[in-house]
Structure 1
Amino acid sequence: MNDLAVKCKNVWPGLGIATITGMAALFLSEHYNAPAMLFALLLGMAVSFLYQNDTPCSCGIDFTASTLLRAGVVLLGLRIALGDLAILGWQTALMLAFAIFTTIVLGVFLAKSLGLQKRFGALTGGSVAICGASAALAISTILPKGKNHERDTLLTVIGVTAMSTIAMIVYPILSAQLGMNDTEAGIFLGGTIHDVAQVVGAGYSVSDSAGNMATLTKLVRVAMLMPVVLIMMLVIKRFYRADAKAGEGDIPKMPMFLVGFILLMLLNSFVSLPTVVVETGTQVSRFFLVVSITAIGMKSNLGKLAEVGVLPIVMIITETLWIALLILGYLFLI
């Protein structure tokens, strides 16, 4: 009990400051209609001195950036039900799976071509393909923990959040210019924009019908997060053993948060949960993710971010254009 008390005592200062900063990010997001994740990152980076030089907040910030992050990912399972796949149709679901797979492969190829680590390409590709910052956080937890692990996660979150915000503004205009109906616009917006919040904003700016279809399409992409993470883990175990032995990072084991995510998704699929439970779980998940990304921002080093240059942004832009062109091609073919 003493050990538990000491651990809690060490965690509270960092957890408290990350929570307060995350709440400030949510406040700014609601009042200025901008992504909460972006505000969380910026505010966290602004107080990064709280993590440096082994301050009393360091332990709690580490806890928030890891344990609280996993809890937020687990609760994402309440957003998803397997019935969503049936409603959307197998052709569209298959196209989304193809788009996700090829975008991740493109990310790995681009990283290798540009002289970056392939795991960074998998991180950016998975984030663009599935659900933006949430996917980046989930995928980063299973990637080998190299020396640039947190920097790469931060860069990815910044990049996909910025691109998602731009897409939220530009894509509805593009769908109107291309003469899409509500169903086509919903599939396009839900299949291409990175973050859930931006998909909702873009979809309902077109119409209620387009917003409903965009949200459904996006949830199907989110449902593919866990299969993608599991496949990545198998690939890592197969191909990164040499890197781990060379000191590049440990081979990750099956994380329990994946099991929790799948269990909640199955529960939501086969049991009619009260609306208040689903909505509360979704809001708590969002809050946990915002607070954890605040902690990741606190752990960041701006000097290291500047060293990388524009190559990660070029990768994310290319991946974003790729998935947009794929979905547009599919819509015109059908």
Structure 2
Amino acid sequence: MRSLTEIQQPASITPRVSKILKSKYVPGILFLVAIGILSNSLGRDYPLIGGAVIAIVIGILIRQFLGVPAIFEYGINYTLKKLLKLAIILLGFSLSFAQIFKVGLNSLIIVLVAVVAGVFLTYFVGRLFGLQGNIPLLISLGTGICGATAIATTGPIIKAKDEDIVYAVNTIFAFNVLAVLFYPLIGHLLSLPDNQFGVWAGTAIHDTSSVVAAGYSYSNTAGDASVVVKLIRTLMLVPVAVILSIYISIKSAKMDRGANQVKISKVFPFFIIIFAGAAALNTIAPLPKTFVDTTADLAKFIILMVMASVGLGTNFIKIKSVGIRPLIVGLLSSVIMGSISLILVKVLF
């Protein structure tokens, strides 16, 4: 009869758990969890700045003044490349395609026209100012769709450098703060009705947290309208990510002389498809509020970890070398989005 020490544990569980605990990714992931907890706490205390920007800043400061131990590198890269996809998928459970019908046809037209025009005009302005690399595209997507989330999602797809992502996120952040302060003032000066202001704020302001802050500071009705409209913009991540993936894959295939065809696995961002599936599931059979809230909170926390990993991989000297041109482009893009959205709101409402 075998002793207890000789009895093997279930093969399907113990080796798997042991492998995870001994994984080279664990130290880096735990390090990012710690930064995420700190960023989340500070983000609640300073909502105008937000946890995402704080996470990036903490990451940059650690890299510049303390350095990043090699033991953390695997976990940091894994978070940036893999866990980000999990965060986007989880975010899908908090969305519903039914929201498209709640905002009405006019609101939907405003969102579509403003987003498309804003993205293309911002990209054009960026190139006009001589911005190189992926910064113009990242700023345009962050401006047009959903701020830091759009930048974090599309950055890896277009193979953007960490420095480009950081600059784009910080540019978006700067004008989010201004939007929270000035949009309600402009709304009152123009005597905008609550629904008009809500649609305007939800269409023009970049980041969800800033939309919420500006909308509800105007009124509860405006806040409700702004959140729904902003969620519609977030859903546009699906077609945008797919289009970008197809473009990048075809471009890469053409550059590779040995590639006769584009691989499907490279063309389609499957995590975005799952993201859309999660939103579709919540549309067909609304999920329990507890589950939706939990997955949304987890998604936001993982995004904080991703932002921290971006900061940890950033060379501050390269950021300084870019200069202030991206900030000027960010200012112009914010004015473009705000103006187009306001004109459409006044015409269609």
SS in 2 for 1:57: helix
Q: Cα deviations across residues 202-232 of structure 1 (Å, max 9, x unaligned)?
A: 1111111111001011011111111111122
How far apart are 1:237 and its partner, in Å?
3.7
Which protein has the larger Cα radius of gyration, Structure 1 or Structure 2?
2
The match for 1:90 among 88, 98, 105 is 105
Report the RMSD for the aligned CA atoms in angstroms.
Answer: 2.4
* 8 Å contact kept, 1:50–1:298: no
Partner of 1:308: 322
CA pair 89-227 structure 1, distance change in 2 beyond 3 A: same
CA pair 8-61 structure 1, distance change in 2 beyond 3 A: farther
Partner of 2:338: 324
How far apart are 1:242 and its partner, in Å?
5.2
How far apart are 1:29 and its partner, in Å?
1.4
Matched, 1:274 2:288: yes
* 8 Å contact kept, 1:131–1:194: yes
The match for 2:125 among 102, 110, 115 is 110
How far apart are 1:114 and its partner, in Å?
2.8
Partner of 2:137: 122
How far apart are 1:15 and its partner, in Å?
1.0
How far apart are 1:183 and its partner, in Å?
0.2
Q: Cα deviations across residues 232-267 of structure 1 (Å, max 9, x unaligned)?
A: 22333445655677xxxx995422211220110111
How far apart are 1:182 and its partner, in Å?
0.6
Partner of 2:10: none
How far apart are 1:8 and its partner, in Å?
4.8
Greater than 6 Å deviation, 4+ residue runs: none
* 8 Å contact kept, 2:28–2:76: yes
Partner of 2:274: 260
How far apart are 1:16 and its partner, in Å?
1.1
How many angstroms apart in 2 are the aligned matches of 1:101 and 1:237?
22
Matches within 5 A, 1:1-334: 5=19, 8-34=22-48, 35-48=50-63, 55-117=70-132, 119-143=134-158, 145=159, 149-239=161-251, 241=253, 252-334=266-348
Unaligned 5+ runs, structure 1: none
* 8 Å contact kept, 1:127–1:133: yes
CA pair 53-202 structure 1, distance change in 2 beyond 3 A: closer
* Counterpart residue identity of residue 86, structure 2: A
How many angstroms apart in 1 are the aligned matches of 2:86 and 2:249?
24
How far apart are 1:51 and its partner, in Å?
9.3
How many angstroms apart in 2 are the aligned matches of 1:51 and 1:78?
38
How far apart are 1:47 and its partner, in Å?
0.9
What is the TM-score of this pair, normalised by structure 1?
Answer: 0.91
The alignment of Structure 1 onto Structure 2 pairs a total of residues equal to: 327
Unaligned 5+ runs, structure 2: 1-14
How many angstroms apart in 1 are the aligned matches of 2:301 and 2:86?
10
How many angstroms apart in 1 are the aligned matches of 2:27 and 2:74?
8
How far apart are 1:122 and its partner, in Å?
2.1
Aligned sequence identity (%) = 24
